[in-house]
């Protein structure tokens, strides 16, 4: 989410929410809803806590210096993501994994002097298994950049961006790896990881325009934004920005078999629909495009803070949420018709 939200966020944060106790069975595997193909058993392909934590610890390491767009640290993050995609047999969508772009940025708030920033999104594709439906694309994404340095606390100036948004980046990566292995998706999947979100949605904006120019037959888009901490036990696990703009949430919940994605009143008040990487895809492609989050302004104190660290993530919550999303995504990906539609606001 963009820096413009900082004041709103810290005015809204009340306290850290407690973690819900999750059984080992919940976190271990997604099972009954998965069709086994090519002798891949569901338990072999399920998304593991160990994989999530391993990616988180690298992407939030001080070596990456806060993953600011244009820095050496974000280059290392991109290489890590590309290696993950290669290792999991996820092919590049373009000639390479990188979708390059550049833009002008003021050197400081008080200066009219600008500098050219070079950024790159990372884009992979998992082809669908249906001869007809594979020509329709589901876009899954998250932004892998962060702000670089933040206000110094106890000698630490690196804003590692664990919840914002290494958590969402890892979710998108893991979903792509899961479907590349199980091959249970009839529609094709684009896994899209963006840079320069923190500089005004520059990466997602560029990619949305590029996909429009090449005539991508996009069906829906989900942006995973800050899913590293749990909500209160009486709330839905996650919420969706722009909830009333489509029937996306109710469709996912039907396939999940529970109210996984809830309505969050403050999402509209804070204009979250327009402040994250889903918005350019809605604007350019005119498709249902939303951000899903579990950070609700009451359950985490470290937005754009140097203490947004890997050790503050709730890995049981992340693993539980990501695995619960699999049957929801599968149902939407495999439905014979396009069930998710935009609504008039």
CA distances from 123 to 138, 169, 194, 230 (A): 13, 12, 9, 28
- Residue 343 belongs to a domain: no
- Per the domain annotation, does 27 fall within a domain? yes
Q: What is the mean pLDDT of residues 231-259?
A: 97
What confidence tens digit (pLDDT) does each residue in 160-214 have? Answer: 999 999 999 999 999 999 999 999 999 999 999 999 999 999 999 999 999 999 9
249/262 Cα distance (integer angstroms): 7
Q: What is the pLDDT of residue 40?
A: 54
Beta-carbon count within 10 A of 286 CB: 11
Kindly state whether residue 339 falls inside one of the protein's structural domains: no
The pLDDT of residue 5: 42
Q: Is the pLDDT of residue 20 over 70?
A: no
Q: Average pLDDT, whole number, for the chain?
A: 90
pLDDT at 267 over 90: yes
pLDDT of 2 > 50? The answer is no
Q: Which residue has the higher pLDDT, 14 or 315?
A: 315
pLDDT at 122: 98
pLDDT the model gives residue 43: 53
CB 138 within 8 A of CB 106: no
Q: What is the mean pLDDT of residues 282-302?
A: 97
Task: Report if residue 178 sits inside a domain.
Answer: yes
Portion of the chain with pLDDT greater than 90, in percent: 83
Handedness of CA 177, 258, 244, 263 (dihedral sign): negative
pLDDT digits (tens, 9 = 90+) for 97-147: 999 999 998 887 777 889 999 999 999 999 999 999 999 999 999 999 999
CA angle 9, 196, 145 (to 5 degrees): 75
How far is 131 from 138, CA to CA, in rounded Å? 16
* pLDDT recorded at residue 345: 66
Domain membership flag for residue 130 = yes
pTM of the full predicted structure?
Answer: 0.88
User: What integer is the mean pLDDT of 252-256?
Assistant: 98
Is the confidence at residue 16, as pLDDT, over 50?
A: no
- Whether 6 shows a pLDDT value over 80: the answer reads no
In a domain, 341, yes or no: no
Q: pLDDT band for position 73 (50/70/90)?
A: very high
Highest mean pLDDT among 3-7, 29-33, 36-40: 36-40
Percentage above 70 pLDDT, the chain: 87
- The CATH number covering residue 60 comes to 3.40.630.10
**Cβ neighbours of residue 95 closer than 8 Å, sequence gap 6 or more:** none
Tens digit of pLDDT for each residue in 52-71?
A: 999 999 999 999 999 999 99
Going by C-alpha positions, the residue among 86, 187, 80, 208 that lies closest to residue 141 is: 208
Does residue 253 have a cis peptide bond before it, meaning omega lies within 30 degrees of 0? no
Take residue 109 and report the two structure tokens written for it.
């708030």
Q: Per the structure, how many domains does the chain have?
A: 1
**Residues whose CB falls within 8 Å of the CB of residue 268, separated by 6 or more in sequence, listed in order:** none
For residue 167 the two structure tokens come to 């958590």
**The domain containing residue 291 runs over which residues?**
3-334
């Amino acid at each position: 989410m963009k820096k413009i939200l900082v004041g709103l966020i810290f005015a809204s944060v009340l306290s850290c929410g407690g973690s819900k106790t999750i059984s080992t069975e919940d976190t271990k595997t997604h099972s009954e809803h998965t069709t086994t193909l090519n002798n891949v058993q569901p338990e072999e392909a399920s998304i593991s806590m160990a994989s999530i934590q391993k990616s988180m610890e690298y992407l939030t390491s001080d070596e990456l210096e806060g993953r600011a767009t244009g820095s050496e640290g974000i280059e290392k993050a991109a290489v890590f993501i590309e290696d993950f995609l290669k290792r999991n047999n996820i092919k590049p969508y373009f000639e390479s994994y990188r979708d390059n772009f550049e833009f002008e940025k003021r050197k400081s708030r008080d200066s009219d002097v600008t500098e050219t920033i070079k950024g790159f999104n990372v884009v992979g594709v998992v082809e669908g298994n249906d001869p007809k439906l594979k020509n329709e694309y589901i876009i899954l994404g998250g932004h892998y950049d962060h702000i670089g340095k933040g206000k110094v606390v106890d000698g630490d100036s690196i804003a590692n961006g664990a919840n914002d948004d290494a958590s969402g980046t890892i979710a998108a990566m893991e979903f792509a790896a899961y479907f590349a292995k199980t091959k249970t998706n009839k529609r094709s999947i684009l896994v899209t990881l963006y840079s320069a979100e923190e500089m005004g949605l520059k990466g997602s904006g560029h990619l949305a325009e590029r996909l429009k120019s090449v005539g991508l037959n996009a069906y829906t888009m989900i942006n995973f934004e800050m899913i590293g901490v749990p909500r209160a036990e009486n709330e839905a696990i996650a919420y969706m920005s722009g909830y009333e703009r489509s029937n996306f949430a109710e469709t996912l919940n039907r396939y999940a078999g529970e109210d996984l994605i809830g309505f969050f009143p403050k999402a509209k008040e804070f204009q979250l629909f327009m402040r994250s990487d889903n918005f350019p895809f809605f604007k350019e492609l005119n498709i249902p495009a939303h951000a899903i989050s579990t950070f609700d302004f009451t359950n985490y104190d470290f937005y754009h803070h140097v203490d947004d660290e890997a050790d503050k993530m709730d890995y049981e919550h992340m693993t539980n949420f990501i695995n619960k999303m699999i049957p929801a995504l599968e149902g939407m990906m495999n439905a014979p018709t396009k069930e998710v539609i935009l609504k008039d606001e």
